[in-house]
């Protein structure tokens, strides 16, 4: 973590600031290890100061590294630690995170200090994972893979989406935490990419989309698999094969130096060529780390160029409102000459 702080401190010096206020809790965890729900980190050229309230006093002692922890009132913005800002003339803040209300509250207390917006500084550092982060992500992925293997035995006609989702969540929590609301979409419900499971019962022949992730010691995994309840028809298998081929083509193009937008385009072009371009309406993928959605994005509008140890999803899909959906999602690590597929669950068309 010391190297992360040093990298951010170098950016502070490069941009000719005297310090930076960090309010994004994921960024704070990335930099000093704190996992609580209330905190502010102030980095200067030679000091790292963390502030929280009494509820997290003992937690701070256990978790905080490379920063001095100080306990203040619960509302950290109402009485900002102005006394710690001696010698500060230009102070940066996380423009993508600090609310306008809290910006105004701080600004009123530091009238003689220039308050400078800084966009995505820590976010950009987080996009490239170090060895410790990769170890935790691999563990999260392994948990999800094991959960998927177990859930296959529960898939049968008459089982409700909600029951399968509850079972997935239970299995995940035996070793980690649920990274985001689990998706189980059967039949037509699979045509909603972010569908939340309901009382629908699985029926023979229909597709079921499973999208879930594990959080392990703060780091996330994300995977999607689509299976069929019993035997299905040839048209369903055809759609599945198109999505799988799309993903395989995308995986083959991922490597250091590639433009994220071009990877998305190549995948999108193939689905379009097969007649389903209008049925693939989301980006090809996104970064994963402390948050399940972070940089870099694999999307049409993305400006990102891939770096070694970016960790991203590759998740093409086809969604038909009168039938359902197919999505296949792996988590991968970008390497110099390609990518390492972290997700190990099978991708062949499964008829359960």
Domain range enclosing 171: 131-341
Residues 91 and 195 in one domain: no
Q: Is residue 208 part of a domain?
A: yes
Residues 291 and 205 in one domain: yes
Note whether 237 and 214 are within 8 A (CB).
no
Q: Is residue 346 part of a domain?
A: no
Residues 214 and 254 in one domain: yes
Q: For the chain, how many structural domains are there in total?
A: 2
Last residue of a domain, one of 110, 126, 142: 126
Residues 269 and 322 in one domain: yes
Which CATH number do you get for residue 108?
3.40.350.10
Q: How far, CA to CA in Å, does 252 sit from each of 38, 188, 245, 290?
A: 42, 31, 11, 26
Residues 260 and 184 in one domain: yes
Q: Is residue 350 part of a domain?
A: no
Note whether 317 and 280 are within 8 A (CB).
yes
261 preceded by a cis bond (ω within 30 of 0)? no
Last residue of a domain, one of 126, 153, 184: 126
Q: Strand pairing of 207-212 and 183-186?
A: antiparallel
Note whether 176 and 216 are within 8 A (CB).
yes
Note whether 297 and 286 are within 8 A (CB).
yes
CA angle 296, 30, 259 (to 5 degrees): 15
Residues 271 and 315 in one domain: yes
Residues 120 and 140 in one domain: no
**Spans in the chain with pLDDT lower than 50:** none
Residues 330 and 277 in one domain: yes
Q: Is residue 236 part of a domain?
A: yes
Residues 100 and 147 in one domain: no
Residues 148 and 213 in one domain: yes
- What is the rounded CA–CA span in Å between residue 24 and residue 215? 18
- What is the rounded CA–CA span in Å between residue 285 and residue 280? 12
Which CATH number do you get for residue 264?
3.90.230.10
Residues 248 and 176 in one domain: yes
Residues 116 and 146 in one domain: no
| Radius of gyration in angstroms for the set of CA atoms belonging to the chain, rounded to a whole number | 23
- What is the rounded CA–CA span in Å between residue 193 and residue 185? 9
Q: Is residue 154 part of a domain?
A: yes
Q: Is residue 349 part of a domain?
A: no
Last residue of a domain, one of 90, 111, 126: 126
- Res 1: pLDDT: 81
Q: Is residue 51 part of a domain?
A: yes
């Amino acid at each position: 973590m010391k190297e992360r702080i040093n990298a951010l401190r170098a950016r502070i010096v490069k941009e000719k600031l005297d310090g930076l206020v960090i309010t994004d809790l994921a960024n704070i965890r990335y930099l000093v290890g704190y996992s609580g729900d209330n905190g502010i980190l102030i980095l200067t050229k030679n000091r790292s100061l963390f502030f929280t309230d009494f509820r997290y006093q003992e937690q701070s002692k256990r978790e905080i590294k490379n920063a001095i922890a100080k306990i203040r009132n619960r509302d950290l913005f109402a009485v900002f630690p102005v006394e710690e800002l001696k010698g500060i003339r230009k102070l940066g803040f996380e423009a993508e995170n600090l609310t306008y209300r809290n910006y105004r509250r701080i600004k009123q207390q530091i009238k003689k200090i220039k308050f400078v917006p800084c966009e995505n500084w820590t976010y950009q550092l987080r996009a490239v994972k170090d060895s410790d982060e990769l170890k935790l992500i691999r563990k999260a992925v392994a948990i999800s893979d094991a959960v998927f293997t177990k859930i296959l035995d529960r898939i049968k006609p008459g089982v409700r989406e909600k029951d399968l989702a509850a079972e997935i969540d239970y299995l995940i929590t035996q070793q980690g935490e649920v990274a985001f609301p689990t998706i189980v979409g059967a039949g037509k419900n699979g045509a909603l990419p972010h569908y939340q499971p309901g009382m629908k019962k699985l029926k023979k022949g229909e597709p079921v989309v499973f999208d879930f992730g594990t959080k392990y010691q703060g780091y996330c995994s994300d995977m999607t698999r689509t299976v069929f309840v019993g035997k299905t028809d040839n048209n369903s298998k055809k759609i599945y094969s198109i999505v799988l081929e799309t993903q395989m083509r995308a995986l083959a193009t991922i490597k250091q130096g590639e433009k994220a937008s071009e990877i998305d385009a190549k995948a999108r072009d193939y689905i379009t060529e097969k007649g389903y371009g209008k049925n693939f309406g989301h980006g090809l993928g996104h970064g994963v780390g402390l948050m399940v959605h972070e940089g870099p994005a694999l999307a049409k509008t993305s400006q990102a160029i891939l770096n070694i140890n970016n960790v991203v999803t590759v998740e093409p899909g086809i969604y038909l409102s009168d039938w359902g959906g197919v999505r296949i999602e792996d988590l991968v690590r970008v390497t110099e000459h390609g990518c390492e597929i972290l997700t190990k669950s099978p991708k062949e068309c499964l008829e359960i």
